[in-house]
Structures are given as structure tokens and as C-alpha cells.
Structure 1
Amino acid sequence: MLSERRYDIDWLRVIAIGLLLIYHIAIGFQPWGVFIGFIQNDKSLEWIWTPMSMLNVWRIPLLFFVSGMGVYFAIQRRSWKGLLLERSKRILLPFVFGMLVIVPLHVWLWQYYYHQDLSFMLNPAHLWFLGNIFIYVLIFTPLFFYLKSKQQSKLLSVLNKFMAKPIALLVLMIPFITEGLLVQPENFELYAMTPHGFWLGMLAFLTGFSCVYSGQNFWQNVTKLRWATLAIAFTLYLLRIQGVTSDLLNYFIPVESILWIFTVFGFGHKYLNHPSKALTYLSKAAYPIYIIHMFFLYLASLVIFPLGIQPFAKLVAVILATFAGCFISYEFLIRRISWIRPLFGLKEKLSSSKNSVTQKNELKLGSYE
């Protein structure tokens, strides 16, 4: 049973959310950005799509994987009622608050920029991910707690041994290939509020839980094979962008996606599984920043895009302004005001003595969200 602090999983969650921000910023420099609700610069930087298209097949599935892993650690010290209560506070409350308060702000900025009448129809926008996660928790809680009661079983021992074999990684891909063939998404990368995004997210969430539940052999396996999975994933990516696999995308993209994720897990476990002050800060900041980033992205775009400077300079400026706005609001507002903290998925402030005990417990068990 894995119960020690897994700093690599914390780091991967932080990195995935950082990539999400960069990705969303880059959409504003694509010729189709406005059609999916982003403020679009008048001059595009279409070359950015080359690295974006590499990220796009695994960045969201990675977050679902990590979320499933987080639930494994969470149930080690909670009852099923405690888990549902904690996830309601940390996921459902920010989800509802975000839909009612945060999402309208960036929608109105978009409407203002394009000289439209201000209006709003309730929708989760970028927070759709939180809604999916909460549904998955509700669905799988009985299964997860059943598996928790069997952590000393022969079945788990067999699973752990199987995860040490390279073929295990191939077997883990089969459900994702099956999902692609059954759902046949028009675009694999279109996750938000689609049947494909829901089922793919569910598979990734359940697989993430299973990978941690199975024991240490999975991590040793992906670490040992990290260069091989990287080489194969990159080859599939090159074939995809050259159009070689265009007729078989529902077969090849799921394989490429999961291989990228195994690669990230392998390198992360090898090099990131250690504590740092930066991680302590960023692991708490990542979730609130994910919730608010679209407002600061749209605000930065509204101010910077009309400026008469080169598109690349605008890209850099929007990146700096978005990150600055997010971190300043987190540091001086969200994390410091007790009643605001729960609205962004943070625990309420504790007294110094209770906080010391909480930090010690988190160092022992981990606090994955």
C-alpha cells in the first residue's frame, strides 16, 4: 500500500495546470480562437499549434489520471461519508461558485471586447472538469472503498506483480482505444462538455486510481520504460501531424495520449519525487489559479491585443499578465481571507497549533486534491 507522500504526483498536477494556462493563452493567437469563445488577436501565430497539438492529446487526460490518484490517497484516512463531504466542499462548492460568479466575468469581457450586449446563460465553461470529477467520485466511491478493504488480498498481490511487466502498459491502453472506437469523437482533443470527454475522463480517473492502488511496481515500470514510451509517443505525434495516420486516428491517438502520460509519470517519478518550498506553495495555489485564470486571461487580452506591437510580444505580455494577475489575487486575496478560501477549494484557515498538526499529517499521508 502506498501511503507515503508522493511529491511527483503533486508536481505533475501543478505542471499540468501550468500547461493548461499556457495552452489557453495560445488559443488567442489561433485563427479559430473566437469560434470557441476566446478573445482572438488580429494576427495569428499559427506555428504555435505545432507544440500545442502535441500537448492537446494528453494534458486533460493527465489531470483526470492525477485526480483519480488523489482520491486513492484521500480515502486512506477517510470514511466514505467523509470523502463525499470533503469532495463536496473542495469540488462541488467551487464548481457552483465558479459557474455563478467567475465564469460570467470572463464571458462579459468577451462580449465587451466584441461589442455585444452583455448577457449570460449558466454554463460551467472551463470548470466542466470539476463537474466531471465530482460525478466520478459519486460513481466510484463504493468501488474504491471496497478495494480499500482488500488492500491485503491476493488479488492485489497479483495485480502488483502484473504491473511490473511491460505488457501491463499495453493492457492499460485497451479501454482508451475502445472508447475512441465506440464514441468516435470528431476531434479527440475536444473534451469539454462532450460524451467523449466524459467517458475518456472516467477511464483516466479510474485508471489513475488503479495505478496507485496496484503498488510500487507500476511506477518502477514506467520509470524503467520512460525513454521507450517517449520515443514511441513522439514518433506517433510526428506521424499524426504529417497526416500519415489520419485514417486511423481513433486507434493511434489514444495510444499516443497514454504513452505521453506514462512518459510523464516515468520522468516525474525519477526526478520530481522530492519536497521543495516551491512545491509546497504551488500545490496549494494551483487549484484556485485554475478557477480564476480565464478572467485574467481575457482581461489581459482585452488590454494587450489592441496594442500596436508584434504578435509574439503580445503573447509574452499576455502570459506575464495572466500569471501575474492569478498569483497576485491568490496571494493577497484568496489565501488570506478565511471565508473566501473554501470558494476556491482551499481549507479554512486554522489556528497555528492546529495548522502545525495538519501539516505534519499531510507530510505523512499527502493531501492530494
Structure 2
Amino acid sequence: MPQEKLPEDPLSINTKTRLPELDGLRVTVFGLLILYHTGMLYVADWGFHYKSQYQSEALANLMLWSNQWRMSLLFLISGAALALFLPQHANWKSLGKRLSQLLLPLLFGMLVVVVPQVYIEAKSKHIIEGLDYWQFWYAYLDQKSAEFEGHKTIGTMHFTWNHLWYLPYLFVYTLTVATVYPLLHSRLMQSVWRWFSARLLLTHLVFLPIAGFYINGSLLYAEHPVTHNLIDDWFNHGRSFLSFALGFAVVQIPHLWRSVKNIRWHLLIAGSISYSYTLFEFHGGTLGDGVIAQSMNGILWSANSWLWMLCVIAWGQHWLTRSNPFIRYLNSGVFCFYILHQTLIIVFAYWLTPFNLGGFLEPFVVILLVVLSCWGLFELITPIPGLRVLFGINGGPHIKQHLQAPLTTRAQ
């Protein structure tokens, strides 16, 4: 029986040899973003667009676990998806369609989706007073608005992409790799790649990226901290593009990619040790003041990022060996969920504030409302062709079609 043709979106995996763990990992990481951004409402002393009245210092310990690597893992998955996409779609028509599926939701998101976040942030911080939401939105769209005179973000403009910063970065990385792909796919480079990949060992995959992340941090972090503004964000580019390139490369070395699951317990133990060190350092612990101590500190933080990325991939390969209809359904809607989730988190948290639900019930209600709203809006938007493209939904089949589809296993 021929395999079901699944809908494409700019973050999906399109290949005759599907890797079920990538679909599952993609859903898992985007789900983690909902929990993480909800946590940002409640963690004390961490800046966010809006903060709940209920804040916890202890929550920082849990947030720190995924703080370093959640977006890097998402870039790695996207790089792997591109590696599986390009061999079948190495033409500018297909690539242009893929890139437009990033740009259109980004532009729509900047003009419409993130505006409630900006309004609530401005209102809660008393930055702009005396405007209702519709007046605020008009002022936001009017690039000569006096209300935003001191709040420019891009040159003379005051548009923002907030949590959608991942999309322009992914656009640039995808375009960069696709441009050089003909060279990478040339006969000479293929020979070099076969020679190189045949000599790569699992130990190289574990330790070499740690060195790469450490070098990036030691060279760029102090002078170029994270800004998410695309232009002057070199440390973040180094970390994100390295993750993207690693995903693009490693997924094309089957023996190396598949062997990661064999060390899943080792990675869990090593990751737990490195995470324990980050907690130690976060709470004021130190290895000393010398150059060696500072270098060890940087190496351990870099190791924590990469070890957990590998650990999540390894356990994903162990557990997610079969593609099931529910994962395929979530995978078709995950881009839409991503676009909507942070705005819904902030709106619901702001709306719930007067009810004084408490520090345990309020976050539970916020998460429940966000998940239900994302799902409901996805189902509502999917049948509308002109609207669904603005939310990253390309074809999005109904859940019944997915639940009736046969299970598939990983292609060997």
C-alpha cells in the first residue's frame, strides 16, 4: 500500500524515508515551548513581556534545565528536515514555496498575532497610557506614531516579532544552506563527505560539538549577547546555526544518527551531572577565578546544552520508532500552535489576574486554555485556504483522516 502523502509545511520532514523520531521530537519540543513560556510568567527575576502576580524563585531551577538548549534543538530538527527535503526538491520553485511559508506567517504575526502581547506589555509597564486596544493597534501600525517614538525596534520602525524570532532566523539559515547545496552535492564534495563520514565515530559526535559551542560562547557571548534582532545577534547566530548545521549533517550519516540511542543512559547520566553543575554555578558556586577555572565553567555549560540535545534525540529514537496517526496530526498543526501559543499565554494570564486563582491553579488554567484554544483555532482555520497559510498550515488534513491512517515504522 502506498504511504500516505502528508501535508508539507516549512518545518516538516518531507522524504520517502521518514524518520518517525523527528516528527515526534518536533511535537515534543514545541510542546515544551508552551510549558516554558508559561513558566516565564511565574519565574521570579526573569524578564518577560508580562509577569503574573504569583512568582517563584525556585521555579528558576526547573526553567534552567531547558533554557540553554530548547531552541537549539528546534534548529537541529529543522536542519535535519531540510537535509531530507532538498534531495527531492532541489529547485528554486519548491524552495521558494517553503520560504514563503515562513515569511507570510512571520509578516502576519508581526502585524496581527503579536500585537496583544505588545499591548499588554505596554499597559502593564505603563509605557503607553490612554489608548484602548484598537487605538493601540492603529498606533502600532502607524510607523510615524508619536506614542512609539521612543520605542523603535528596526531602524525607524517599531514592529516586533517577539517569540516569532525563530522564523526569520530559520529563513536565513535555510536560504544559506540551499544556496550552497549544489556545491555540497557536487561529485567532488560527495567524495569528500563519504570519506569524512566513514571516519566519524560516536565519540566525535559527543565531544566535537561541545568544543564548537564553547568556542562560540568564549568568542561572542561577552560582546554580542542575545538580542533576537537578527542583525546584531552573533552569539545566538553561532549557537543556532551550529545546531542547524549539525542536524543537516548528522542525519545524512545513518550509522552515526542511529547509534545515538545506544548511549541514551550514558547521556542521561552525563546530562544530569552537567545540569547539577549549572545549578551549582547559577546559585553562586564557583570553580575559582583563574583562566582555567573560567574555561572549565564555559565547557561545562556548553556540555550541558549539547548533552541534553543528544539525550532528547536518543530517547526519541528509542521511544518514537513508529509513526502513529495522532503524532502525524499534531505534526501538521504544530506550526500553527507555535504561532499562537505565546500570545494566548499572555492574554489568558492577563485576563485571569483579577480572579486571584493562586500560584498553583492559575498556571494550570492558563496551560489548559492555551492548549484547547490552539487546538480549536487550528481546526477552525484549517478549512479556510486564504487564512490557513497565514498560520503555517498547508493542507492540514482533518484528524479523522490521520486516525484512520495505518501505522508506519522507521525505514531501515
Looking at structure 2, the residues matched to 304 and 297 of structure 1 have their Cα atoms a distance apart, in angstroms, of 11
CA shift for structure 1 position 179: 0.5
Alignment of 1:174-185 (within 5 A): 174-185=211-222
- 2:20–2:409 CA contact under 8 A, matched in 1: no
Looking at structure 2, the residues matched to 174 and 310 of structure 1 have their Cα atoms a distance apart, in angstroms, of 44
Match of 1:129 in 2: 166
Looking at structure 2, the residues matched to 134 and 91 of structure 1 have their Cα atoms a distance apart, in angstroms, of 7
Question: What is the number of equivalent residue pairs in this alignment?
Answer: 352
1:192 pairs, out of 215, 228, 231, with: 228
Looking at structure 2, the residues matched to 265 and 349 of structure 1 have their Cα atoms a distance apart, in angstroms, of 26
Looking at structure 2, the residues matched to 65 and 191 of structure 1 have their Cα atoms a distance apart, in angstroms, of 20
Match of 1:320 in 2: 368
Give the greater-gyration-radius structure (CA): 2
When normalised by structure 1's length, the TM-score is 0.87
Please tell me whether residue 302 in structure 1 is matched to residue 341 in structure 2: no
- 2:224–2:234 CA contact under 8 A, matched in 1: no
Alignment of 1:1-369 (within 5 A): 3-33=16-46, 35-37=47-49, 39-113=50-124, 116-117=128-129, 118=136, 119-120=139-140, 121-150=158-187, 153-185=190-222, 190=226, 192-193=228-229, 194-213=233-252, 215-243=253-281, 244=285, 247-248=294-295, 249-332=297-380, 334-348=381-395
Structure 1 unaligned blocks of 5 or more: none
- 2:20–2:410 CA contact under 8 A, matched in 1: no
Give the 3-state SS of the residue equivalent to 2:251 in structure 1: helix
CA shift for structure 1 position 77: 1.3
- Look up the equivalent residue of 1:209 and give its one-letter code: F
Identity %: 23
Looking at structure 2, the residues matched to 290 and 76 of structure 1 have their Cα atoms a distance apart, in angstroms, of 27
Structure 2 unaligned blocks of 5 or more: 1-14, 130-135, 141-157, 288-293
CA shift for structure 1 position 166: 1.8
- Look up the equivalent residue of 1:18 and give its one-letter code: G
CA shift for structure 1 position 10: 1.0
Q: Which has the higher helix share?
A: 1
CA shift for structure 1 position 207: 1.1
CA RMSD of aligned residues (A): 2.8
Q: Tell me the alpha carbon deviations over residues 89-148 of structure 1, each in whole angstroms, 9 at most, x when there is no partner.
A: 211111111111111132123334556433532011111110001011122213333333
CA shift for structure 1 position 270: 1.5
320 and 151 in structure 1: CA distance in 2 versus 1, 3 angstrom threshold: farther
Looking at structure 1, the residues matched to 258 and 99 of structure 2 have their Cα atoms a distance apart, in angstroms, of 34
Looking at structure 2, the residues matched to 14 and 176 of structure 1 have their Cα atoms a distance apart, in angstroms, of 25
155 and 169 in structure 1: CA distance in 2 versus 1, 3 angstrom threshold: farther
CA shift for structure 1 position 149: 4.2
CA shift for structure 1 position 308: 2.3
CA shift for structure 1 position 175: 1.9
- Look up the equivalent residue of 1:25 and give its one-letter code: T
